[in-house]
Amino acid sequence: MSERMFIEGNVAIAWGATMAGCQAFFGYPITPQNEITEWFAREFPRMGRVFVQTQSELGSINMLYGAAATGVRAMTSSSSPGWSLMQETVSDLMNAELPCVIVDVQRGGPGGGPIRHAQQDYFQCTRGGGHGDYRNIVLTPASSQECCDLTQLAFHLADKYRNPVLVMSDAIVGRLRETVEVAAIDFGPVPAKDWAVAGKARHGDGKRRVVDHCGDLFARYPSYQALLQSLDKRIKRMQEAEVRYEDYQTEDAKTILVAYGYTARVSKEAVNTARAEGIKAGLIRLITAWPFPYEVIGQKARQGSKFLVVEDSLGQLLEDVRVAVPSSADVGLVSILDRHMPSDGGMILPDKVLAKIKEMQ
């Protein structure tokens, strides 16, 4: 099916999951992502799919673990504090190699913070808030359409790598209403889930399946080292194949902006205005925050481009850009301190970004 809808990013995420064949959703109320949980509560029972309002985000992530262990496509969604609460089991999902999708609609922090927009979970999403060595693909939508499409891609990549995938949105992208073409996207085949639990009667060979989060304890791997080697191999495969970004007018750009989510939209407008005024600006918009496009940024830096990071935090994405460029390269920052007003309603607006671009010329 394909249908045009005028919907919020949060609702588009729910539609994307539905198009991808998600069978189970688990959620606990938290602003600014309640539209997602409420959508599933309303629509999934009608479709004969599973919805559970959980007792906490611990419940959400652990039910997701249970659902993923049965091999069905399943998802949970939360916002920053709830995402923090989930971290132990996120680490367990990585060890247990359970494909699933988690959505973090970022709000402000640290701590309780404001319930409005921010982009302060970059480290936590890309570096793993949980313990141990792991990495997971992080997709970052910047429009309602992308909320729908990247959520579908998230399910595909989770199955492809047998690894959880995170959709890192923010309150503005989540609450922004736009026209979306809701259609199922075919990303091609994924490996069969012959490891999933279902009761022995459902297995062709009649043999038991065990899903565990220890790796070597129950002979999934012959040793701890073998488990780590497998993780390492998977991380490298994802780094090689899954870097995604939008290259916007960087060809001849002297100043290249790097941003994701709502600040990428703001940045694009600033680039357009700068171009109209004859300033050669461009934008690299992250679609995957992990794996990160180190290569293209490094290459542009070596060709002499300056970089301006635009993010609604004190500077987290900034560190990845600094890793990508030579240490002598010029990297500027438009941060949460550059919002248009000091209350939590303050936003990074295009004029501020434009001023910074001009400053860097």
Partner 1 sequence: MSEKTEVATRERVTGRPRLLIKQKAGFVYCPGCHHPLVARAVAEVLEELKVDDKAIGVFDIGCNSFLVGLLDIDGVLTPHGRPPDMATAVKHIYPDNVVFTIQGDGGLLSIGADPLMGALSRAEKITLIMLNNAVYGTTGGQMAPTSLAGQITTTTPEGRDVSKTGFPIHAAEMIATFKGTAYSARGAVNNPYNYERTREYLKAAFQKQMSNVGLSFVEVICDCPSNWHLSPADSLKWIEEKMIPEFPLGEFKNVDKIE
Q: In terms of CB distance, is 194 or 359 closer to partner 1?
A: 194
End-to-end CA distance of the chain: 49
What secondary structure does DSSP assign to 75-88, as a single string?
EEEE-HHHHHHTHH
Sign of the CA dihedral running 167, 171, 173, 177: positive
* Residue 89 makes contact with partner 1 by CB under 8 A: yes
| 29-88 positions binding partner 1, by CB under 8 A | 50, 52, 54-56, 58-59, 62-67, 69-70, 72, 74, 88
Q: How far apart are CA 94 and CA 158, in angstroms?
A: 11
CB of 324 closer than 8 Å to CB of 292: yes
Q: How many residues bind partner 1, per CB under 8 A?
A: 38
Q: In terms of CB distance, is 25 or 307 closer to partner 1?
A: 25
Q: To 5 degrees, how large is the angle CA 130–CA 135–CA 138?
A: 100
b/e burial code for range 311-332 (CB count within 10 A of at least 16 → b) = bbbebbbbebbbebbeeebebb
Rounded to a whole number of angstroms, the minimum distance from the CB of residue 83 to partner 1 is 16
Q: In terms of CB distance, is 56 or 223 closer to partner 1?
A: 56
Q: In terms of CB distance, is 70 or 126 closer to partner 1?
A: 70
Rounded to a whole number of angstroms, the minimum distance from the CB of residue 59 to partner 1 is 5
What secondary structure does DSSP assign to 150-181, as a single string?
HHHHHHHHHHHHTS-EEEEEEHHHHH-EEEEE
Q: In terms of CB distance, is 59 or 108 closer to partner 1?
A: 59
Interface region with partner 1, contact rule CB under 8 A, candidates 120-128, 143-151, 167-175, 206-214: 206-214
* Residue 115 makes contact with partner 1 by CB under 8 A: no
Q: In terms of CB distance, is 95 or 250 closer to partner 1?
A: 95
Query: Interface residues with partner 1 (CB under 8 A)?
Result: 23-24, 26, 50, 52, 54-56, 58-59, 62-67, 69-70, 72, 74, 88-89, 92, 96, 197-201, 206, 208-214, 218
